[in-house]
Amino acid sequence: MTAPRAVAPPSPPSPDHDARRLGARLDTLRRHLGRLPPKAARSPAEQRTAGGILADGRAEREQFLARHAPAVYARLTDDLRSPLRVADLLAAAAEHYPGLVPGEADLAAESGRAQRDKEGWEIDQGLFVGRVLDDPLSGRHLVHAMVRPRDRAGWLLDEFRQQDTVDLGLVAVHHKNGVGHVVFQNHRYLNAEDDASNQALETAVDLVLLDDRIDVGVLRGGVATHPKWAGRRVYGAGINLTHLRQGRISLVDFFLDRELGAVNKMYRGHPGDFTAEPEPRSLCEKPWISAVDSFAIGGGCQFLLVMDHVVAEHGSYVNLPAGREGIIPGCGVMRLPRFVGEAVARQAVLFSRDIPVDSPEGRMVVADAVPAEEMEAAVDRAVEGLRATGLSSVLANRRAMRIAGEPLDTFRTYMANYAREQALCAYSQTVFDNLDRNWGR
């Protein structure tokens, strides 16, 4: 008797095959959504209908990405030969896989609308980026792409070397005696952060890292011109919640670029060639010092958690008031417990607890608390202390502590969740109500 021939299992559908089916399904859902009035003009029943349509579309995208995210990423990056920043990656995905993420027209239609009046297409961007970061190889490649120097920094480097200063608008960067001083100067909003300030900050950080005359970076707020604080330095007031309410804070240009770009560059430096290693060596990294005057609120506190030394004036405070804002405070949720313990971190994040720098908990974040008139001297001592240790030793130990405390894959996995959850938070009713109640003026 002849044995029955084994039948090979059917090949799984290709990404292109599934993408065509997804595109057709999403096109149908988009037509249904287009029959409804704009979000701001919908009745409660119409808004429930729109919510169902959007949820169905997101479920379809999630199913597609669960099967094909690595293959999609490989195609968009020429099999990982082309490093694309998040914005460029999303633009390529919109072109090659219509409907998978919002296109330029979708985002342009949302521009100028208040946050509560937007459809929330950025959520689909967050879902896509989260799936890419979930995959170890794709995610490491994207993290690597995001810490490469920005083109603008390369264009400005000669000017910086010749003049020792570059004014980037909301941020300035200066060189003096081998120290790169990055200064916040968004005076109207007490150095609150937004899309423009974040883009300027990343360029400033790049210049400090690229300039081989510089061996230490210092982050500090400039002298305020705000009437209430005129003549005093302030460090940072966190995210500009007025801009968030107005719909002017971007998931990509702020939330994702900030953590994967400027902050991660201060923490990990610029990369060498992509190797796919779980802990690649940086091509160039430098130690960083922060000088906190008055307060480091929200994002300002988050900067302190990637510094090598923090000095602060007596009477200042830090906090992560995410409970009051309704969003995720960057990577602060991951990093703050390493400094103050999980119990205090929960109180800070969930209950908006202030942490005075002169308190026992504050001294776990801040190394030196000094009178205001001694801040300059304290910064100078910190610089000389790092140099006295020997910068090669500082960088070796910095890397060792980073590997032990926050391995790259831990960061990558955190950011995968952050991309999704921050997008959902930013378009939640809780955030809309919080912004209207507290920042509606």
What confidence tens digit (pLDDT) does each residue in 101-158 have? 999 999 999 999 999 999 999 999 999 999 999 999 999 999 999 999 999 999 999 9
Q: Can you tell me whether residue 414 is helix, strand or coil?
A: helix
Longest dimension (CA), the chain: 97
For residues 362 and 63, what is the distance between their CA atoms, to the nearest angstrom?
45
Q: What is the mean pLDDT of residues 239-257?
A: 96
The predicted pLDDT at position 47 comes to 96
Banded model confidence at residue 16, pLDDT cuts 50, 70, 90? confident
Residue 8 pLDDT exceeds 70: no
C-alpha angle 393-397-400 in degrees, rounded to nearest 5: 145
Banded model confidence at residue 441, pLDDT cuts 50, 70, 90? low
How far is the CA of 382 from the CAs of 173, 175, 289, 332, 387, in angstroms? 19, 17, 8, 24, 9
Q: Can you tell me whether residue 80 is helix, strand or coil?
A: coil
For residues 407 and 411, what is the distance between their CA atoms, to the nearest angstrom?
7
Banded model confidence at residue 15, pLDDT cuts 50, 70, 90? confident
Q: How many CB atoms lie within 10 A of CB 433?
A: 12
For residues 120 and 69, what is the distance between their CA atoms, to the nearest angstrom?
21
Banded model confidence at residue 389, pLDDT cuts 50, 70, 90? confident
Q: What is the mean pLDDT of residues 204-219?
A: 98
- Identify the helix (H) or strand (E) that includes residue 339: helix 332-340
Mean pLDDT score of the chain, rounded to an integer?
Answer: 95
Sheet holding 216-221, edge to edge: 165-167, 171-176, 179-184, 216-221, 288-292, 309-313, 368-370
For residues 357 and 319, what is the distance between their CA atoms, to the nearest angstrom?
10
Tell me the Ramachandran region of residue 231: left when phi exceeds 0, alpha when psi lies from -120 to 50, beta otherwise: left
The predicted pLDDT at position 296 comes to 98
Q: How many CB atoms lie within 10 A of CB 122?
A: 25
| Nearest Cα residue to 148 out of 109, 201, 206 | 206
The predicted pLDDT at position 12 comes to 58
Sheet holding 355-356, edge to edge: 295-297, 317-319, 355-356
- The answer to whether the CB of 215 falls within 8 A of the CB of 286 is yes
DSSP 426: H
pLDDT digits (tens, 9 = 90+) for 289-301: 999 999 999 999 9
The two tokens of residue 374 are 């001694």
For residues 167 and 75, what is the distance between their CA atoms, to the nearest angstrom?
39
How far is the CA of 17 from the CAs of 68, 97, 272, in angstroms? 11, 11, 36
Residue 440 pLDDT exceeds 70: no
The pTM of this model reads 0.95
